[in-house]
């Protein structure tokens, strides 16, 4: 009886397997037919007679790797930050991936040869909307157009961070347009040097200048540029520094663009230290500890040995590390010197302090005690841009993203004085527009730096800092009264009898009134700088610094959707930048033009890929 049951079961299993094989063969035939149709569609869209290895690039979805945590930890670490690899497959394999929407297609002719030869363009293009990363960015609505009769006053905090620009470069170089929330236009603009007048003396830490000229993307409006130039302090004249490196060595930092790059970057900073400087190293993962106690800057061998022995592994208890770093900085505090914690991480804090608010409260208390916080971001995949920018802002420091060794050289070598030495704090800008001269205005960028009008004169309200040699640029697009540049519709019940003329006739020639408040680093009461912006200052054409800043601003707006750019294209942006490149000793402006062209190529390729998906 048992034997008969076994035979019947075996026969039934065999018949089922045969049926499955037949269905698989049928499905394979259908898949092949689908792939053939998809190939034909590719040929039509890309004008290619055949599909070559260089024409199709596959970009697999990120994979998860279970990594064992450090001894003594109960949880295993889920790895999502491994470098995403790109593989070139043959035509059949590529079309198989394409049917699953895992590839993008790019015509060779769409990638300028000069980009390929310089190493800027990479063959790993992705859909910008494809959810491949769990990176964290603050969502911000783009600044809107304001009617002067309703809101004549605009107030905001300055911003000298540059992290958004280098992070954008990382996205483009890995073959994808950045998310809109990753683009902060003011950080794009302030990444570059401009030819602004230098302060006449250090009694006033910076010099303010303005310039007005036609808006490149809208001839009916004008662009008002406000420039602030901080006074320069040579490296040799920097005060003694008490620096505490707080380094993330958790498992998420294993990738080549994280801890290894971080070690190289901080090695550059060590090379700038002198005997009077002090450096300490604190690390954190599942637990935190002191790797290097306070050590004089001339003991470079000991410092570099401590840096090179670092290895990544474990979970991320960043809060405990910050507490320990501040404790070490406080113990070694240098009166009238630079006292700063430098946090280097991907920002993936997942264990430790109960809330971000508690962490920020700690940073604010230490800021008042004279210890600043600078944040250096590394890596991709799990990068927390929002947290690192927020911590630096609360810590009276600056935030930079290190995507390559050249960026480390810029931040920690070329701009060392600006990175370490604060010359003015709580810097606020307020501009009041004259409704008789200006009908509308729009501040470009600074979405997360806006202040209330009453915050300007309130010295308890925190604002941004300026480092030695820093430049700050703000751009307003304005519509002059009576021009054709108005974007807002006329109001039904607005009376024409209402006079917008100033009460004082001497104000008639003023477009706006500019006020700037700041505090010296050791003071708690702000100082005021103010001056009118006259209509006689309107130029027929902007200078090179003006136009290059406008090109960078247009690029940032383009990456955020280009709501106010009219028909201004990537080509127009590149041409404007090319015509106003001016001095470019470090090649940053030339690289900017390459990035604009790369973004255009990626944008075109994305449109091609989207057409493939829709068909």
Query: Do 567 and 462 share a structural domain?
Result: yes
User: What pLDDT was estimated at residue 134?
Assistant: 83
Can you tell me the mean pLDDT for 401-410? 95
Answer yes or no: is pLDDT of 214 > 90: yes
User: What pLDDT was estimated at residue 528?
Assistant: 97
User: What pLDDT was estimated at residue 313?
Assistant: 80
Answer yes or no: is pLDDT of 106 > 50: no
Residue 529 maps to a domain: yes
Last residue of a domain, one of 387, 410, 433: 410
CA distance 170 to 164: 10
Can you tell me the mean pLDDT for 559-564? 95
DSSP letter at 61 equals P
Answer yes or no: is pLDDT of 145 > 70: yes
Answer yes or no: is pLDDT of 92 > 60: no
Confidence of residue 513 (pLDDT cuts 50, 70, 90): very high
Residue 460 sits in a domain whose CATH number is 2.60.40.1230
Q: How many CB atoms lie within 10 A of CB 563?
A: 11
> Do residues 343 and 376 touch, judged by C-beta distance below 8 A?
yes
Last residue of a domain, one of 385, 410, 435: 410
User: What pLDDT was estimated at residue 100?
Assistant: 37
Residue 323 sits in a domain whose CATH number is 3.40.50.410
Confidence of residue 316 (pLDDT cuts 50, 70, 90): low
Query: Do 263 and 370 share a structural domain?
Result: yes
Query: Do 254 and 107 share a structural domain?
Result: no
User: What pLDDT was estimated at residue 606?
Assistant: 77
Residue 594 maps to a domain: no
Residue 26 maps to a domain: no
- Alpha helix locations (H) across 414-521? 416-420
Mean pLDDT estimate for the chain: 80
Query: Do 180 and 112 share a structural domain?
Result: no
Write out pLDDT tens, residues 17-37: 454 444 444 444 544 444 444
Confidence of residue 536 (pLDDT cuts 50, 70, 90): confident
Maximum CA extent, the chain = 114
Query: Do 574 and 441 share a structural domain?
Result: yes
Answer yes or no: is pLDDT of 62 > 70: no
Residue 65 maps to a domain: yes
Whole-number Cα distances in Å, 386 to 130, 141, 164, 328, 429: 20, 15, 10, 26, 23
Triad 69, 72, 74: Cα angle to 5°: 60
Write out pLDDT tens, residues 374-397: 999 999 988 999 999 999 999 999
Q: Which residues contact 305 (CB under 8 A, 6 or more apart)?
A: none
Query: Do 129 and 98 share a structural domain?
Result: yes
Can you tell me the mean pLDDT for 497-511? 70
Query: Do 345 and 288 share a structural domain?
Result: yes
Residue 211, both tokens = 């310039």
Confidence of residue 321 (pLDDT cuts 50, 70, 90): confident
Total residues belonging to the chain? 615
Residue 374 maps to a domain: yes
Q: Where are the beta strands (DSSP E) in 202-277?
A: 206-215, 218-230, 241-248
Answer yes or no: is pLDDT of 352 > 90: no
Query: Do 191 and 256 share a structural domain?
Result: no
Residue 225 maps to a domain: yes
Query: Do 533 and 429 share a structural domain?
Result: yes
Query: In which domain, by residue range, is 525 found?
Result: 146-233+423-485+508-580
Least confident residue range of 103-117, 336-350, 444-458, 589-603: 103-117
Residue 490 maps to a domain: no
Residue 492 maps to a domain: no
CA distance 18 to 15: 5
Query: Do 392 and 248 share a structural domain?
Result: yes
Q: Which residues contact 456 (CB under 8 A, 6 or more apart)?
A: 155, 428, 430, 515, 517
Query: Is 44 strand, coil or helix?
Result: helix
Write out pLDDT tens, residues 265-298: 999 999 889 999 999 999 988 667 899 999 999 9
Query: Do 533 and 404 share a structural domain?
Result: no
CA distance 517 to 459: 9
Query: Do 280 and 218 share a structural domain?
Result: no
Query: Is 312 strand, coil or helix?
Result: coil
> Do residues 546 and 210 touch, judged by C-beta distance below 8 A?
no
User: What pLDDT was estimated at residue 181?
Assistant: 96
CA distance 429 to 108: 47
**Count of domains for the chain:** 3
Least confident residue range of 107-116, 260-269, 455-464: 107-116
């Amino acid at each position: 009886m048992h034997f008969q049951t076994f035979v019947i079961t075996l026969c039934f299993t065999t018949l089922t397997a045969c049926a499955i094989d037949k269905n698989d063969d049928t499905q394979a035939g259908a898949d092949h037919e689908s792939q053939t149709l998809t190939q034909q569609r590719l040929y039509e869209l890309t004008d290619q007679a055949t599909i070559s290895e260089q024409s199709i690039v596959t970009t697999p979805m990120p994979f998860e790797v279970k990594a064992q945590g450090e001894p003594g930890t109960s949880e295993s670490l889920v790895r999502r930050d491994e470098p995403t690899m790109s593989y070139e497959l043959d035509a059949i394999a590529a079309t198989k991936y394409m049917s699953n929407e895992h590839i993008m297609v790019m015509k060779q002719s769409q990638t300028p040869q000069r980009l390929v030869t310089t190493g800027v363009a990479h063959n790993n293009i992705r859909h910008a909307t494809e959810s491949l990363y769990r990176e964290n960015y603050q969502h911000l609505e783009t600044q809107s157009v304001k009617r002067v009769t309703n809101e004549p006053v605009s107030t905001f905090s300055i911003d000298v961070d540059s992290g958004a620009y280098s992070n954008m470069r990382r996205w483009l170089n890995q073959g994808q347009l950045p998310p809109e929330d990753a683009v902060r236009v003011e950080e794009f603009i302030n990444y570059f040097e401009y030819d602004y007048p230098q302060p006449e003396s250090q009694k006033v830490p910076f010099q303010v200048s303005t310039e007005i000229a036609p808006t490149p993307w809208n001839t009916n409006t004008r662009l008002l540029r406000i420039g602030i130039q901080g006074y320069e302090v040579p490296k040799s004249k920097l005060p003694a520094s008490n620096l505490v490196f707080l380094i993330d060595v958790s498992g998420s930092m294993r990738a080549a663009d994280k801890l290894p790059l971080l070690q190289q970057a901080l090695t550059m900073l060590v090379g700038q230290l002198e005997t009077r400087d002090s450096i300490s190293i604190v690390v954190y993962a599942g637990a935190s500890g002191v790797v290097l106690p306070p050590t004089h800057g001339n003991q470079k061998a000991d410092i570099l040995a401590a840096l090179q022995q670092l290895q990544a592994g474990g979970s991320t208890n960043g809060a405990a590390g910050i507490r320990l770093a501040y404790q070490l900085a406080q113990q070694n505090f240098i009166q009238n010197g630079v006292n700063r914690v430098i946090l280097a991480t991907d920002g993936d804090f997942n264990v430790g302090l109960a809330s971000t608010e508690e962490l920020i409260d700690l940073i604010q208390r230490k800021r008042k005690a004279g210890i600043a916080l600078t944040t250096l971001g590394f890596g991709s995949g799990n990068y927390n841009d929002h947290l690192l920018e927020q911590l630096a802002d609360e810590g009276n420091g600056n935030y930079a993203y290190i995507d390559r060794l050249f960026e480390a050289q810029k931040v920690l070598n070329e701009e060392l004085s600006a990175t370490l030495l604060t010359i003015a704090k709580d810097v606020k800008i307020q501009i009041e527009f004259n409704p008789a001269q200006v009908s509308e205005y729009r501040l470009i960028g600074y979405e997360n730096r806006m202040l209330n009008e009453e915050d300007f004169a309130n010295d308890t309200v925190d604002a941004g800092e300026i480092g030695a040699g820093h430049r700050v640029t703000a751009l307003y697009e304005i519509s002059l009264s009576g021009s054709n540049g108005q974007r807002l519709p006329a109001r039904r019940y607005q009376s024409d009898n209402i006079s917008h003329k100033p009460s004082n006739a001497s104000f008639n020639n003023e477009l706006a009134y500019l006020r700037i408040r700041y505090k010296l680093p050791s003071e708690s009461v702000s100082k005021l700088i103010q001056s009118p912006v006259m209509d006689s200052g309107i130029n027929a054409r902007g200078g090179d610094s003006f136009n290059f800043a406008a090109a960078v601003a247009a690029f940032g707006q383009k990456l955020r959707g280009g709501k106010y750019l009219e028909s201004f294209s990537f080509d127009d942006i590149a041409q404007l930048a090319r015509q106003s490149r001016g001095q470019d000793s470090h090649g940053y402006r030339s690289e900017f033009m390459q990035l604009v062209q790369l973004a255009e190529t990626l944008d075109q390729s994305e449109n091609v890929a989207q057409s493939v998906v829709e068909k």
